[in-house]
Structure 1
Amino acid sequence: MVEFGGWDMPVQYPAGTVEEHLRTRTVAGLFDVSHMGEIDVRGADAIPFVNRITSNDVTKLVDGQAQYSTLTTPEGTVVDDLLVYRFTEDRLLLVVNAGTTDKDWEWIRSHHEDERVELRNASAEYCQIALQGPEAIPILQKLTETPLEEIKYYHFSEGEVEGVPAIISRTGYTGEDGFEVYAAPDKAEQLWNKILNAGGYGKPEGVLPCGLAARNTLRLEAGMALYGHEITEETTLLEANLGWICKLNKGDFIGRERLAQQKEEGVKRKLVGFEMTERGIARDDQDVLVDGQKVGRVTSGSPAPFLKKNIGMAYVPVEHTGEGQDIQIDVRGRAIGAKIVKTPFYKRQRQ
């Protein structure tokens, strides 16, 4: 167990990180992510308010749809990344990272102007259990009458799971299909155990409970950003390859002016993926070298259990971002060879 965002979290369960990772890719993994924060936004101006403080276009959402977005600073850097859920025109739910929930809550409250909205930090009102993997639908369908196949990717439905009122969201942080189930926190243990049972936990091809380490290696293989690593208050959305959630034409939002300027001028550094070409594992915060000179920093580095490679992400100057570019990673004083590759490293086969 480790402390994470004010919570005690398991790094891994008895099966171990590699097996948890592989089972999620091939069957299903179960993650307790109840540490995530939830902020409830209600009122006639819920959509214009959230649209002004986030980078994606909230006006494009329909009821029952979610979007990936960020809270941005005036410099176009990232306060946090989040999911925006639209229930109705006047009710949104923002799901934020555990370690930044208090910061995000203060940021959102401090940027509330004259919009007609009611804000509530609802983090204590939800548990969140994520079932991820190719067998997620058949496993979860045993416990709910909600037709899961009908929920599109990044959409959600309100229903019941094992008789417990829940938000069933087709979202996740692993690169696999799957669902994140939000419910009352006192129902977390019941839901956890029922999903494990429904997924045949204990059998060779059954669902496995997964810890923080597998969650990290899965999202890294899928090329997904982690707050505090790939995205921070020092990195802009354009540098982080998140231009696709940066809607400069939607109207004004915090950071828009700086991001529009950066888009016109061009970024000087960019986030890239790399794989090791020599024996060695890149780790977070190690230096990236080109011809022996430091040019950047590893944001995330790890073995990739499913791909059987050692991979990572790093910020480097744009002139060194070409696919196939040779780089070196300073691994404890030794320059180990690597090359820049396209991301995501892993992409699941669509059905």
Structure 2
Amino acid sequence: MNRRSVLQTGLASSVAFAAPGCAPAQPSQTMRYEMPLESATHLRTLMQWPTSIDVYGARALSSVQAAIIDIANTIAEFEPVAMLAVSHARGLDRPRLSGAVEVWDIPTDDLWCRDSGPTFVKDEAGSLAVALVQFNGWGNKQPHANDARIAGRVAERLGLSVIDSGVVGEQGGLEHDGDGTMLAHASCWVNDNRNPNLTADQIAGRLGDALGASKMIWAPGIVGADITDYHIDALARFVEPGRIVIQIDGEIVPHDPWSAAAHETLAILEQATDARGRSLEIVRLPEPFDIRAHADDFVASYVNYYVCNHAVIAAEFGDRRADDEARDILASLYPGREIVQLNIDPIGASGGGIHCATQQQPA
């Protein structure tokens, strides 16, 4: 199964709005819990061990597992890592993992902890809870018997309460600035394969209640062009409140639905304001072209980086100019953090990146 098979599809309509029943001026006072920004201090990083031969095939699975080990060991240089995996999991080789990587006995199907892992939120006293965004295998496109239960099992292990958002989806399809504003492609939320009986307003309201946000900026995205229905975290991310980084080409590429959708998202962001009424500063990352991978559906996203304690873990794709430019831009966006670039080509070939494979537990 390929996670990013391009289809020629139409684009949905877009809307940006404040979630009903919330006060955009002071969202923190109207919400009991709030999801911290990724750059806030972490207690640990969670990751999932991929095990599915049916999804990857034996040879590709081995390569993907090696890339997961590389990411985990790199992050473990900066903060603790918990790898979710049963002890007898296919291909799990404990000696290859750093001593700073714990193995938690939680069964998994695939590696995408951003999507099926727990979304942590904090109350005003700093206590953690898990906001449950129910995972259904990206609209029942892939088996997920174990992955659908991971968020609850982690919450149980940590003794945390679970807040059910009442929404089906994935955190990789949602950006949150930690200050009341969310950003998403409607294609992976307002979709019959996730939330057939909910409107965009209802979805935004429920997510806002669970994550402590009062405004959603919707962009259309693309329905059915890849397994995720176009997650926002492969295109645009909040660096901090009022500031977004986006990876985009200089102009729309004719007959390329990804390029058209990206530029439509950019146009919406250029006109949008956040929950505090601020216009958004937009920083562009380059598109790599001269890369090692040759598949048309390879995901070469610099913006799918992960911010951990004291570092930013990002991808490099073999395009020296673009790799260096992306590193320099990330260094300017996250001053004081080490920028570490990894070759994660097996994960890019599987349709994702480093951010997709990780999930932060706030301190």
Q: Is the TM-score greater than 0.5?
A: no
Query: Which structure: larger Rg?
Result: 1
Taking structure 2 as the reference length, what is the TM-score of the superposition? 0.30
Bigger relative CO (Cα 8 Å, ≥ 6 apart): 2
Q: Which has the higher helix share?
A: 2
Taking structure 1 as the reference length, what is the TM-score of the superposition? 0.30
